Amino acid sequence: MNEAQTVTTGGTTTGSTPRLSTATLDRLPPAVKRPGYDRAAVTPGIVHLGLGAFCRAHLGVYTEAVLESGAKDWGIVGVDMLSPAIRTALKPQDCLYTVLNRIDGTDRLQVIGSFLDMLATGDQLAEVLALMIDPKIRIVTLTVTEKGYCQDPATGTLDESHPAIVADLANPTVPRSVPGLLTEAIRLRRAAGVTPFTVLVCDNLAQNGIKVRRIVTRFADLRDADLGRFIADTIAFPCTMVDRITPATQDAERAAVAAGLGLEDQWPVVTEPFRQWVIEDRFATGRPAWELDGAIMVDDVHPFEMMKLRCLNGAHSTLAYLSVVAGIETIADAMADPYLPSVVRRLWDEDLIATLPPVPGTDVPAYTVELEGRFRNPEIRHRTLQISSDGSQKLGPRLLEAAQERIAAGFRPSVIPLTVAAWMRFLLEVDENGTAYAVADPMADRLTGIARAHGGSATDLADALFAVTEIFPPELVADAGFRASVIGHLQSLKDHGVHATLAAFLGGR
């Protein structure tokens, strides 16, 4: 069941278990952590765009600690931009939700109160914009995924032909896209004489603040050059590195949370114990003291973000494409496979670690050992199919840029061509057991169309996909060795399957 299907409409529930809400908080068992501060006295200081599981396991938790410390002006209002599903599920709970950590079989539950309200742009756009120009709001945070920024993934610039961008440029006061919404809010705020907010991007993009500043400035520029200049000159877009593995919530976890709370929570989040947040400390109008809960405030996020994006997310994508094709359901299952852990070890040791700048206070090889442990965590059922989504947006920053750097430095990437071949094989939409799955990607129609037309031949398929310049930089696919390596792996994946390919790959070192 996907997340949207599990929500009851109108917040009513048919079960006999009472619902989590302000009124029922005092019924929670003592072991469940809950807000110890007076929520009614907290005012919003942050608008958060993109109300998925991740921000509730990350931003919501760090901010909870700030509110617990006595701060009263940093509550969050969450805005659902895709569908109103999470708002609809959580509003009847007064926006309270549970974070479930399962450690060695024991459930630890915390009810989070830092989200004071939730809105959805679909039917509350005017309220969202009104809130975004309120002087109390000093930060707009975002987790809208890579594709949410309407970028050309190969260049990290605004995709000016993106349908949402075309629509927002035609009708800029009723924006639907993220660049359109930010631009309109900044314009209205400026017109009202309100000090600009800071835009804090919390998505897995390399140099996320710099990239999104470029995208939003370009969008504004296309609307009005003066507005573009205003954004470039006055709005701060600090960079961040965010990390916490947080899969989509399953029904079994809802049931475990209900059992632990003695109350029904329609949309809890289940997450790992680990979390990390590195933030460039550049806020125009103040910020919560997130460091109280372990956030690392720095001048330069880049080394941290490169390490995380390449080592964690790059390994995730490698495991995901090989696993979906092999019919392996979760990352923990992949880490119990006889071959896959050795593949990611080689990815780190042979392709990625050498591309990273020194990371302050961090032993990168030790970081990858810790990653192995996080990936093996059997309590986190992180679906490989979930991670396989949006490959067109993810491959570049996670792996292709590293491959280019290795080639430029005179080395042959070892595992990255195998990942690319696995992604190409994945586009055929059926695994080795004959089970069909859907490719979720903003470019899915085009990519699966290419796979259907050319799937008969590894060379033709790879050639047709290498020609997609939104994904593959021309300099990378001009490298004959890289092309040959991808085609060789793809041929083997098609002819012999994942396990035989990995056995040969690992045996042939």
Which residues are at the interface with ligand CS2 (CB under 6 A)? 204, 243-245, 312-313, 316, 386-387, 394
| Closer residue to ligand CS2 in complex, CB, 63/204 | 204
- Closer to ligand CS2 by Cβ: residue 189 or 382: 382
Q: Min. distance of Cβ 296 from ligand CS2 in angstroms? A: 15
- Alpha-carbon span 299 to 278, nearest angstrom: 10
**Min dist. Cβ of residue 402 to ligand CS2 (A):** 15
Least distance (Å) from ligand CS2 to the CB of residue 312?
A: 6
Q: What is the dihedral of CA 179, 184, 187, 192, to 10 degrees?
A: -140
CB of 346 to ligand CS2, least distance (A): 19
Q: Is 257 exposed, middle or buried (CB count within 10 Å of its CB: 0-12, 13-18, 19+)? A: buried
Residue number with the smallest Cβ distance to ligand CS2: 316
In the complex, least distance from residue 486 CB atom to ligand CS2, rounded to whole angstroms = 21
Distance CA(173)–CA(167), nearest Å, equals 11
Residues contacting residue 443 through CB under 8 Å, at least 6 positions apart: 392, 468, 470, 471
The answer for residues whose C-beta is within 8 angstroms of residue 244's C-beta and 6 or more apart is: 54, 57, 58, 271, 272, 274, 275, 276
The Cα–Cα gap between 200 and 34 comes to 27
Please identify, using beta-carbon distances, which residue of 128 and 245 lies nearer to ligand CS2: 245
Q: In this complex, which beta carbon is closest to ligand CS2, that of residue 369 or of residue 504? A: 369
Q: Which residue, 19 or 394, is less far from ligand CS2 as judged by CB?
A: 394
Q: Let me know if 57 is exposed, middle or buried by CB neighbors in 10 A (0-12, 13-18, 19+).
A: buried
Q: What is the DSSP string of 290-319?
A: GGGGT-EEES--HHHHHHIIIIIIIHHHHH
Q: Considering beta carbons, is residue 138 or 394 the nearer one to ligand CS2? A: 394
Annotate 360-390 with DSSP letters as a single string.
TT--HHHHHHHHHHHHH-TT---BHHHHTTT
Q: Closest approach of Cβ 282 to ligand CS2, in Å? A: 22
User: Which residues neighbour 232 within 8 Å (Cβ) at sequence distance 6 or greater?
Assistant: 213, 217
Q: Shortest gap between Cβ of 244 and ligand CS2 (angstroms)?
A: 5
Residue 20 or 201: which CB sits closer to ligand CS2?
201
